[in-house]
């Protein structure tokens, strides 16, 4: 926050009488800061009244704190320069303040009278003088370049220099030995004050004397209550003398020998840190809320919250900290990360042994629990957690009833520790972990926490009820499955990878800089897979399986998470519209014979109830309400079919004959004489959104009672009227005619477009040299009904398959229709007839009215980017010769496209992700979705800009395209392959984000060998040859596209029959290039300008 100039201050001096019983209008003219040399005088008339008075000088940003002159006696003769906390109430547009607490006094032992002055001197000293000019107090900050004074929202008053660096603060977060504090000064004598602050950290944590009844005080740690809290008092996080409170005049002394000692008013010993003779140098309040004693080497010798505990420790949920009416959690252990564990509650009644992050943001002051031991069986007050001598950690309720344990008795357990990852571990005498919370997940996956095959996350019942709910996310060898748990689980999401799934964990997608779910293959021969989120990587992030069945990513500073499964719509989830609800475009309605319930389900969603329920007493009165083209959420469990290969009538009969059946679902591909029949129980959300996204047809039949009138298939939201106005009839008739005319015109347009597309499909059969054309059924069989997904992007997903001849294939199922299909036809005609060893081979395609698929040869080693960027443990660094061969393969493939085809083909999206490797690490170019055809008699074409940020040639920003755009992209790829680094890495500082300027500088300094990948010993052995390849890259990266070589020339240089041009321009960043880089930064790191439509397997 910038400090305000004098011109923004309307009033500097204003006396406001404040007390718990006095409300006055807020003055918004108060500043949070001053950056000139002001003076304030305590000389305004104060009437003799029976309550405290306060003259505000500065307010914090959100009006939580203020500083100024304060007096507490009735005569108002003794004043203090003080910081106070304020309570705000609103009366219309007027804000009223009441004083809550005095939290700091500058002159606590030497009050001043009327006409005293507080002045910020030009040399930077803040000085308080009495009316006679006698010095009372100062900050002693002369000659420290002080620029201004600021009231912080934490309650801290600070002096700052011109760089906004704090040079003085009212509360330090450190203290040195030989310091003493006493609970007897005016701040504790106030009738409404319950605490005295000794130390403060800017993150909002305090330590000092704390009381809840003004009689019993504790040396405690607490944090500032947030603005949306209804409580006036702070919430204690730790108490030193929890079982032995002290009274007024108690002292806390930091002795010269390093011991911190608390004594009562009579000098009786109460508590100490027992740190004498440990070379203690000071005490520090940490941003995590931990109070530490440190030695001269800044090593921690004592801390309020340890991250370890030993056997025989006992914690009870019954001491003063839990008895406070506003406290909802009690910390046992803490790690500076800052993870804590202890008793946790949201309602003061039900407590859990839990792990949470102390800094976690949520809708209230209680941090979100990230792991719960006893989530299905909460305990009450006086519950105990006992670390038994035999090594078992046992939780019992107040009556001694067993609730939960780690089952680690007789495992030689020596201790417990809270890890920086948020993992709670029990370890043995050899320091080996014998139990940890990560192995027993609840509904959250933290960074570093693996969910292995056989484990699952179970969502909570609701946001307020953390017991296990109806949704589970399971990892098994066959895949990752999300299910609604019923008598028979109903799956709504599945994800499979080649070789099966070993585990999954939250990770960092380096290519985008975002958080991702890394799915590890169980086979060392198969690649891992990432589901990338839209949230940038954060060390505070976690993944939560929420009560509504959504898998969301939270970055630790968010209240609402972001969906990870972005391909799923709202209607794909089983409880989106509750039982029997119909979901269409995210909106809910009820079928005929059903009405919306007054209550919602546990996830807060829509529910429908049957107005005339069916019973088993009169089955002959049952009938089925048909719902054509209605699907069952995103139901993905074909094995759950009750009848397979049956017809629709048999499916309906099966439901009518089964008394407990409430609905039948019939799914088929070609006609209703052969399909699968499902009888789900319970009946969850139905959807009308599935037709466009599914390859099969679906009809639903809901069992109803003939006792009620069903009418149309869905209930109407329009109420009939008792009489109809003739004008309404006339207007409706005219409107209907206009609407029908419009619909008719649209139908003709759609028919013509459909006809043109069908004619285009037929044209494919007439062309010679085209790849094989498959039927959709053939590809369904080849891909095991699209079971093994390799990845996805652009307009579709890629699946593994095997043809009848045993050849492995990669099938890309395109989701785009309409204009996308027209482009598909044009590109199949052109790309389908070209063949080269360095191009991914298009084996065939499928194109009919409903389906558009491409069949490519299978490339088992995946894309080049994971070999040069990701550094996966199973992938060894590529040696120099392999990298050279890959570059040669790509160069030959581009030379073929540019110079040997009937029409020149400009790829326009050359990047490591589009370069695939076979089992011998030979490279092949894939993904021609952005390619452009240029006739031989054309030198260039003008088209919309297309490509991927970081690889775009400068001239593309003027929409002029030649084959030299590919040459530029090739130069970027060569640079990345040789360096082993991304050319555009947004995780790096701004000066290191772009690799191109670094290359330019090294080239100008003749130090290209410094750019060679230093993670590979072989690359370093061949660094001179690698540096020569960098010169090839520089030639390809010339800003003037006419100076770049052709790809056939590049091939000759790589073969050694030609040399690199001697007169290269090393200034690779002219005005056009700089504009391109700025434009790329605006575009973002993941957005391909025209998403690839005709895409090879990734």
Binding site residue list for ATP: 812
What is the DSSP track for 352-386?
EEEEEETT---SSSSPPEEEESSTTS-B-TT-EEE
Strand duo 842-847 + 772-773: pairing: parallel
How far apart are the C-alpha atoms of 968 and 951, rounded to whole Å?
8
The separation between CA 994 and the C-alpha centre of its own chain, rounded to angstroms, equals 26
Tokens of 164: 């906004």
Take residue 987 and report the two structure tokens written for it: 């995780």
Upper half-sphere CA count for residue 394 (Cβ side, 13 Å): 16
Distance of alpha carbon 506 from the chain centroid: 10
Name, in order, each residue with C-beta under 8 angstroms of 252's C-beta and a sequence gap of 6 or more: 180, 181, 182, 183, 198, 209, 219, 260, 261, 262
Strand 39-42 relative to strand 33-34, pairing: unpaired
Taking the mean position of all CA atoms in its chain, how far away is CA 99? 39
Give backbone dihedrals phi and psi of 563, rounded to 5 degrees, phi first: -60, 135
Under 8 Å between Cβ of 896 and 836: yes
Residue/partner pairs of 134-137 with CB below 8 Å, 24 or more apart? 136/107, 136/110, 136/112, 137/81, 137/106, 137/107, 137/110
Binding residues: 812
Burial label for 947, CB within 10 Å (0-12, 13-18, 19+), is buried
Q: Are 124 and 146 in contact (CB under 8 A)?
A: yes
Rounded CA gap, 465 and 547, in Å? Answer: 9
Contact between residue 534 and residue 566 where contact means Cβ atoms under 8 Å apart: yes
Q: Which residues pair with 814 in a beta bridge?
A: 796, 852
Q: Which two tokens stand for residue 616?
A: 């088993």
Q: Which residues contact 216 (CB under 8 A, 6 or more apart)?
A: 245, 246, 247, 320
How many other CB atoms are found less than 10 A from the CB of residue 700? 26
Among 233, 392, 397, 909, the active-site one is 909
Sign of CA dihedral 497, 500, 504, 508: negative
Nearest to 531 by CA among 520, 522, 540: 520
Sheet with 529-536, edge to edge strand ranges: 450-452, 501-509, 514-521, 529-536
Contacts of 1092 (CB under 8 A, 6+ apart): 793, 794, 795, 909, 927, 929, 930
Tell me if residue 909 is catalytic.
yes
In the DSSP assignment, the letter for residue 817 is -
Q: Which residues of 886-925 are buried (b: 16+ CB within 10 A; e: fewer)?
A: bbbbbbbbbbbbbeebeebbbbbbbbbbbbbbeeeebbbb
Residue 496 structure tokens: 């499979």
User: Cα–Cα distances in Å, from 1078 out to 512, 966, 969?
Assistant: 18, 20, 17
Query: Half-sphere exposure of 695 toward its Cβ, with a 13 Å CA cutoff?
Result: 15
Cβ 80 vs Cβ 172: under 8 Å: no
Place of tokens 């920003």: 957
* Paired strand residues for 206: 200, 222
259, 275 in Cβ contact below 8 A? yes
Where in the sequence numbering do the catalytic residues fall?
A: 909
């Amino acid at each position: 926050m910038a400090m305000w100039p004098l011109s923004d201050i309307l009033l500097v001096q204003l006396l406001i009488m404040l007390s718990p019983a006095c409300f006055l209008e807020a003055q918004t003219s108060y500043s949070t800061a001053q950056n000139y040399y002001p003076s304030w005088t305590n000389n305004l008339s104060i009437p003799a009244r029976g309550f405290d008075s306060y003259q505000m000088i500065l307010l914090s940003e959100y009006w939580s704190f203020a500083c100024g002159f304060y007096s507490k006696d009735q005569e108002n003769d003794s004043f203090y320069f003080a910081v106070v906390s304020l309570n705000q109430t609103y009366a219309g547009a007027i804000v009223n303040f009441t004083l809550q607490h005095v939290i700091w006094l500058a002159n606590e032992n030497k009050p001043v009278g009327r006409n005293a002055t507080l002045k910020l001197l030009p040399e930077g000293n803040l000085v308080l003088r009495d009316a006679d000019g006698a010095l009372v107090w100062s900050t002693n900050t002369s000659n420290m370049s002080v620029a201004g004074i600021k009231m912080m929202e934490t309650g801290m008053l600070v002096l700052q220099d011109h760089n906004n660096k704090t040079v003085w603060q009212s509360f330090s977060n450190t203290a040195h030995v030989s310091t003493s504090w006493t609970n007897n000064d005016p701040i504790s004598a106030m009738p409404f004050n319950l605490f005295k602050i000794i130390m403060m950290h800017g993150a909002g944590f305090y330590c000092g004397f704390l009381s809840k009844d003004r009689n019993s005080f504790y040396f405690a740690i607490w944090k500032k209550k947030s603005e949306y809290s209804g409580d006036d008092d702070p919430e204690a996080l730790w108490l030193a003398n929890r079982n032995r409170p002290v009274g007024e005049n108690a002292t806390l002394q930091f002795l010269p020998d390093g011991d911190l000692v608390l004594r009562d008013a009579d000098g009786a010993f109460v508590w100490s840190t027992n740190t004498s003779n440990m070379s203690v140098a000071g005490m520090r309040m940490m941003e995590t809320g931990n109070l530490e004693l440190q030695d001269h080497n800044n090593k921690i010798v004592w801390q309020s919250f340890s991250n370890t505990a030993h056997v025989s420790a006992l914690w009870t949920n019954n001491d003063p900290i839990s008895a406070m009416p506003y406290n909802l959690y009690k910390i046992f252990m803490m790690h500076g990360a800052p993870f804590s564990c202890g008793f946790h509650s949201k309602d003061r009644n039900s407590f859990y042994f839990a792990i949470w992050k102390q800094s976690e943001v949520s809708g209230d002051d209680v941090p979100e629990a990230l792991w719960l031991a006893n989530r299905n069986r909460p305990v009450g007050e006086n519950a105990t957690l006992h670390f038994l001598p035999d090594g078992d950690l046992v939780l019992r309720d107040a009556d001694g009833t067993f609730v939960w344990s780690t089952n680690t008795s007789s495992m030689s357990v020596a201790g417990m520790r809270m890890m920086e990852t948020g993992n709670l571990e029990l370890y043995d005498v050899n320091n080996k972990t014998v139990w940890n919370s990560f192995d027993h997940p609840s509904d959250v996956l933290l960074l570093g926490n693996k969910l292995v095959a056989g484990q699952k996350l179970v969502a909570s019942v609701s946001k307020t009820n953390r017991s296990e709910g109806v949704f589970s996310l399971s990892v098994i060898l066959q895949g990752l499955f999300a299910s609604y748990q019923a008598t028979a689980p109903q799956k709504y999401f599945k994800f499979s990878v080649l070789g099966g799934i070993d585990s999954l964990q939250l990770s960092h997608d380096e290519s985008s800089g975002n958080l991702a779910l890394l799915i590890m293959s169980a086979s060392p021969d198969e690649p891992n897979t990432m589901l990338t989120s839209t949230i940038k990587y954060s060390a505070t992030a976690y993944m939560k399986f929420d009560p509504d069945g959504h898998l969301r990513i939270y970055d630790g500073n968010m209240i609402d998470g972001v969906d990870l499964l972005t391909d799923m719509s709202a209607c794909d989830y089983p409880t989106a519209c509750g039982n029997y609800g119909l979901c269409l475009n995210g909106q809910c309605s009820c079928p005929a014979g059903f009405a919306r319930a007054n209550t919602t389900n546990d996830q807060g969603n829509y529910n429908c109830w049957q107005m005339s329920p069916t019973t088993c007493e009169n089955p002959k009165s049952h009938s089925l309400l048909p719902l054509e083209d209605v699907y069952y959420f995103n139901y993905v469990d074909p094995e759950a079919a009750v009848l397979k290969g049956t017809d629709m009538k048999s499916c309906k009969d099966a439901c009518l004959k089964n008394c407990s059946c409430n609905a039948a679902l019939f799914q088929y591909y070609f006609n209703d004489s052969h399909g699968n029949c499902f009888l789900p129980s319970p009946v969850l959300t139905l959807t009308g959104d599935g037709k466009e996204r599914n390859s099969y047809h679906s009809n639903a039949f809901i069992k109803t009672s003939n006792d009620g009138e069903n009418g149309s298939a869905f209930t109407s939201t329009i109420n009939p009227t008792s009489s109809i106005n003739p004008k309404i009839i006339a207007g409706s008739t005219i409107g209907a005619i206009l609407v029908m005319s419009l619909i008719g015109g649209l139908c003709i347009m759609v028919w013509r477009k459909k006809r043109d597309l069908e004619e285009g499909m037929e044209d494919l059969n007439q062309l010679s040299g085209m790849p094989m054309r498959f039927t959709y059924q053939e590809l369904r069989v080849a891909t095991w009904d699209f079971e093994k997904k390799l990845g996805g992007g652009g307009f579709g997903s890629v699946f593994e398959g095997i043809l009848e001849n045993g050849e492995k294939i990669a099938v890309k199922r395109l989701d785009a229709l309409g204009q996308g299909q027209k482009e598909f036809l044009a590109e199949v005609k052109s790309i389908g007839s070209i063949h080269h060893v360095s191009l991914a081979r298009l084996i065939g395609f499928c194109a009919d009215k409903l389906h558009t698929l491409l069949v490519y040869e299978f490339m088992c080693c995946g894309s080049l980017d994971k070999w040069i960027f990701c550094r996966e443990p199973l992938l060894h660094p590529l040696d120099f010769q392999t990298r050279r061969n890959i570059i040669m393969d790509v160069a030959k493939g581009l030379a073929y496209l540019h110079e040997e085809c009937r029409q020149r083909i400009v790829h326009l999206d050359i990047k490591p992700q589009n370069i695939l490797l076979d089992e011998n690490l030979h490279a092949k170019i894939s993904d021609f979705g952005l390619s452009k055809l240029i006739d031989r008699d054309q030198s260039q074409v003008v088209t919309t800009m297309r490509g991927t940020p970081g690889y775009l040639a400068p001239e593309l920003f003027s929409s002029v395209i030649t084959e030299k755009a590919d040459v530029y992209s090739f130069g970027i790829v060569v640079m990345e392959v040789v360096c082993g680094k991304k050319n555009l890495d947004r995780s790096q500082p701004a000066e290191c984000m772009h690799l191109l300027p670094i290359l330019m500088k090294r080239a100008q300094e003749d130090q290209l060998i410094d750019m060679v990948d230093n993670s590979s010993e072989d690359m370093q052995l061949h660094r001179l040859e690698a540096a020569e390849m960098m010169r090839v890259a520089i030639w390809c990266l010339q800003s003037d596209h006419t100076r770049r070589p052709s790809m056939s020339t590049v091939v000759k240089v790589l073969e050694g029959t030609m040399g690199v041009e001697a007169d290269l321009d090393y200034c690779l960043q002219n005005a056009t290039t700089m504009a391109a880089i700025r434009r790329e930064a605006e575009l973002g790191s993941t957005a391909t300008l025209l998403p690839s439509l005709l895409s090879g397997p990734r």
